[in-house]
A and B are shown apart, each in its own frame.
Chain A
Amino acid sequence: MNHWPFVIAAYGITLIGAAAVTVQSLLRMRAAERRADALKDRK
Chain B
Amino acid sequence: MHIFANPARFLTIARPLTPWLGWIGALLIVAGSIGGLFITPPDYLQGDSVRILYIHVPAAWLGMAGWSGIAAASLMQLVWRHPLASVAARAMALPGGLFTAICLASGSIWGRPTWGTWWEWDGRLTSMLILLFLYIGYGALTSATSGRQSGDRIAAIYGIVGAVNLPIIHYSVLWWNTLHQGQSIGLTSSKIAPSMLWPLPLTMLGFTLLFVAIVLMRMRAALAEGKVEARLRRLANA
**Contact residues of A with B, CB < 8 Å?**
1, 3-4, 6-7, 9-11, 13-15, 17-18, 21-22, 25-26, 28-29, 31-33, 35-36, 39-40, 42
Q: Is the interface of B mostly helix, strand, loop or mixed?
A: helix
Number of B positions contacting A (CB below 8 A)? 40
Known: A6-B112, A10-B110, A17-B98. A33 touches B224 (CB 8 A): yes
- Residues of B participating in the A interface, judged by any CB pair closer than 8 Å: 22, 29, 33, 37, 46-49, 51-52, 55-56, 59, 94-95, 98, 101-102, 105-106, 109-110, 112-113, 207, 210, 213-214, 217-218, 220-222, 224-225, 227-228, 231-232, 235
Do A10 and B106 contact each other (CB < 8 Å), given the known contacts A25-B218, A25-B221, A39-B232?
yes
Q: Which of A6, A32, A36 contacts B49 (CB 8 A)?
A: A6
Query: What are 12 A-B contacts defined by CB distance under 8 Å?
Result: A6-B52, A6-B113, A9-B109, A17-B101, A18-B102, A18-B207, A18-B210, A22-B210, A28-B217, A29-B224, A39-B227, A39-B228
